[in-house]
Structure 1
Amino acid sequence: MSFSTVTVMDVPFIKATNQEFLTQLQTDIDQKKRRFIVTANPEIVLYAKDHPEYKAIIKAADYITPDGIGIIKAAQTIHQPLPERVTGYDTMVALLEKANTQHLRVYLLGAKPEVMAAVVTKVQQQYPGIDLVGYHDGYFKEDTQILADIHDKQPQLIFVGLGYPKQENWIKQNLTQAQAIWMGVGGSFDVLSGMTKRAPKVFQDAHLEWFYRLLKEPTRFKRMLAIPKFMWLMRKEKRA
């Protein structure tokens, strides 16, 4: 399946529901395809706008998904609606569930040491069918051993939580090490570990996860300013 895309500020987002995307990823896994997934929110799109090299890297990905209500709103603004949000966290969890039932090989990279330790414990307890072939926290000075491990173990799913732009840069540089689904997952390990709480469903359904995070972490205020800036630029672009 080749998804059509909707271009938001020169970034092409796949036009697919969560289920359609997961169906395609299952096909990719079955056919042993190498895939690079970027889950992009307004903050990432704004960063790409100001950093051409990073924009080129994410545009080279196989799939860019709309991770953020701001992207959905922006697509509506240009009258090219996207079906729904396809978040990094939900996609990661759905792939872990697939890996559990299909005994897939998984590699985890990123987060603080204590977060990764908690994630590993959770995966081993909650997804006993997963073949967890390796893991490493995100605090490494050099990655020679990590890459050797990935090359030797040939995981089928590789989740990289180094935060943007580092995770996308790292994935792009090292894609050839394994015929796998490579996915940047940002702070998803923090949520999976239980150390960071995801917004309750009522906030998710109202598209107010950003507000819940702001209530829990007021220091995120500066980062949250990306959303109104992004929407202002989209409206400006539309008028132009």
Structure 2
Amino acid sequence: MTEPMNQVSILGINFDDTTLDNFVRVLTKRIDNHLRTFVVTANPEIVMYANEHKKFAHLINNADYTIPDGIGIILGAKLLATPLSERVAGYDVFTRMLKWGSDNQKTAFFVGAKPNVIADLRKIVSREYPGLIIGGTQDGYFTDEQAVAEAIRQADPDMVFVATGSPKQEEFISRNINKAEALFMGIGGSFDVLTGNVKRAPKKWQDLKLEWLYRAIKEPSRFKRLAILPKYLADVAKQRINNK
């Protein structure tokens, strides 16, 4: 059973209202109880894509948990006068689960990123989280999904982290979550950040809720993706009017 949480609906996507500490406690308990768990880490871009693709929206709303990974989600919730407790960044959940997994000799399987990044990931996880058992790694450029799914089944991991970007990662999880009684979580570019191939914003930028701006400055190609934010906020404002 999914531990009940209050939810906030933003443009038809239901977000769980939780904190990082509480969410990690929920996940570790579910893993220890061998409960399959599908976690979606959603930002405004994912919400807007879901609004245009109803099948994907249905997939997200049928996950066990959808967490607010993006300051835009926090802003949207405030605009609707249904504030969420805090942003729960997928990367923070990811690293906390790696630490817990290392402390408790759990097994993790990693899917996604470029071949050089996944090779770096294996080295860094082995060094930084020595108690964590690496059940397998697979870069994101595979063509035989059935073979990857079978590798996950054979590894029988406690955690499966998929970093192939949305919507591919959520669709992969939806198709293959039956392969293990594990946590399955889509985490976008987290492998690149953990390996240092992409730099995360300094803590000061994070504290100021400007991590999105830092990433855009470092990767100008992201500005095009950020252009979706004004439309997202406008649509949220319409939802607020309709809710009244």
TM-score (normalised: structure 1) = 0.98
Aligned to 1:180: 182
AA aligned to 1:163 is: G
Q: 1:5 aligns with which of 7, 10, 14?
A: 7
Distance 1:237 1:205 in 2: 28
For 2:14 and 2:145, the matched residues in 1 are separated by 30
Please, what is the CA RMSD of the aligned residues? Answer: 0.8
Identity of aligned residues (%): 42
**Alpha-carbon offset, residue 145 of structure 1:** 2.0
Counterpart of 2:53 in structure 1 is 51
Cα distance in structure 1, aligned partners of 2:89 and 2:150: 30
Which residue number corresponds to residue 37 of structure 1? Answer: 39
Q: 1:159 aligned to 126, 138, 161, which one?
A: 161
> Matches of 1:143 and 1:210 in 2, distance apart?
32
Find the counterpart in structure 1 of residue 18 from structure 2: 16
Taking the aligned partners of 1:5 and 1:144, their CA distance within structure 2 comes to 34
What is the aligned partner in structure 1 of residue 67 from structure 2?
Answer: 65
Cα distance in 2 for partners of 1:190, 1:228 equals: 27
Unaligned stretches of 5+ residues in structure 2: none
- 2:244 is aligned with 1:214: no
Which residue in the other structure is 1:102 paired with? 104
How far apart are 1:75 and its partner, in Å? 0.6
Shift of 1:78: 1.0
Give the counterpart of 1:230 among 229, 232, 235: 232
Which residue of 126, 139, 142 maps to 2:141?
A: 139
Shift of 1:144: 2.3
| 3-state SS, counterpart of residue 218 of structure 1 | coil
Partners of 2:175 and 2:93 in 1: how far apart?
23
SS at match of 1:164: coil
Shift of 1:214: 1.1
The DSSP-based 3-state class of the residue aligned with 1:139 is coil
Of 128, 131, 135 in structure 1, the residue corresponding to residue 130 of structure 2 is 128
2:216 and 2:152 map into 1 onto residues whose CA distance is 36
Cα offsets for 1:76-115 (capped at 9, x unmatched): 1111110000111000000000000000011000000001
Query: Does the residue aligned with 1:106 lie in a helix, a strand or coil?
Result: strand
Q: Tell me the amino acid that sits aligned with residue 47 of structure 2.
A: V
Deviations 1:10-30 (A, max 9, x none): 111111111111111111011
Aligned-partner Cα distance in 2 for 1:145–1:51: 28
Deviation at 1:218, TM superposition (A): 1.1
Alpha-carbon separation, structure 1, partners of 2:229 and 2:122: 33
Unaligned 5+ residue runs, structure 1?
none
Among 188, 191, 210, the residue aligned to 1:189: 191
Secondary structure of the 2:233 match is: helix
> What is residue 207 of structure 2 aligned with on the other side?
205
User: Could you tell me how far apart the structure 2 residues matched to 1:40 and 1:63 are?
Assistant: 10
The DSSP-based 3-state class of the residue aligned with 1:107 is strand
What secondary structure is seen at the aligned counterpart in 2 of 1:84? coil
Cα distance between partner residues in 2 of 1:116 and 1:227: 31
Show CA shifts across 1:13-48 (max 9, x none).
111111111111111011110000000000000000
Question: Hey, which bits of structure 1, 4+ residues long, moved more than 6 A?
Answer: none
The alpha carbon displacement at 1:216 in A equals 0.6
